[in-house]
Amino acid sequence: MTARVVLATRNAGKIAELRAILAGAGLDIELVGVDAFPELEDVAETGDTFAANALLKARAVSVATGLPAIADDSGLSVDALNGMPGIFSARWAGRHGDDEANLQLVLAQLSDVPDERRGAEFVCAAVYVDPTGREAVCQEVMRGHIIRTPRGDNGFGYDPIFAFADGPLTTAEMSAADKNAVSHRGKAFRALAALLTEGSEGLL
């Protein structure tokens, strides 16, 4: 029987990406976003780590819907900015979800930083919470560096300025399948999917 699981986000790009990742991992679930529950309010991300914020969202959505919930918190950590934007990635320029403003602010902050010091990583904490109180957390990273001019039309967020360490492409120039194979989010959710389905102790 296919399990119905709520993905604790309203980001359509992220929902599509995670559906592809979880389907590729062989997870037999019906994944719906919180938009399927119009009465749900947004959860304040008041945690001080990616994992803490993801758990806040998943716990709240699971309690409100009575269904298992999956959430992630992810962001960009830039070496020359002492790990920032970090957990503030989605609102780095001041307004939540303004991808272009966030991206341009990071570029401005790195304008005088030489290429060899523009290392960065994407970080993703993926979590599962169900109404029985069972929880699982997986965190992964994707190393790369920040380029000087945005490139590519795929992806979202900081993808156009993040070049993957093992190749010349930005994550906005990669196909969805290629990106999911190596990305922080792809690795974190595949690890989570394995925990959910492993043997008799699987959570789903």
Q: Judge if the upstream peptide bond of residue 85 is cis by omega within 30 degrees of 0.
A: yes
Please confirm, yes or no, whether 130 is among the known catalytic residues: no
Residue 147 CB-density burial (10 A; 0-12 exposed, 13-18 middle, 19+ buried): middle
142 CB-near residues (< 8 Å, 6+ apart): 121, 122, 164, 165, 171, 182, 183, 184, 187
**Residue 65: both structure tokens together:** 């819907």
**Cβ–Cβ < 8 Å for 83, 77:** yes
Residue 85 is classified by DSSP as B
Q: What is the DSSP letter of 57?
A: H
Q: What is the DSSP string of 138-174?
A: EEEEEEEEE-SS---SSS-TTGGGEEETTSS-BTTTS
State the alpha helices, DSSP H only, in the chain: 12-24, 50-65, 99-109, 176-182, 184-197
Question: Catalytic residue among 35, 48, 73, 79, which?
Answer: 73
Residues that are catalytic: 73
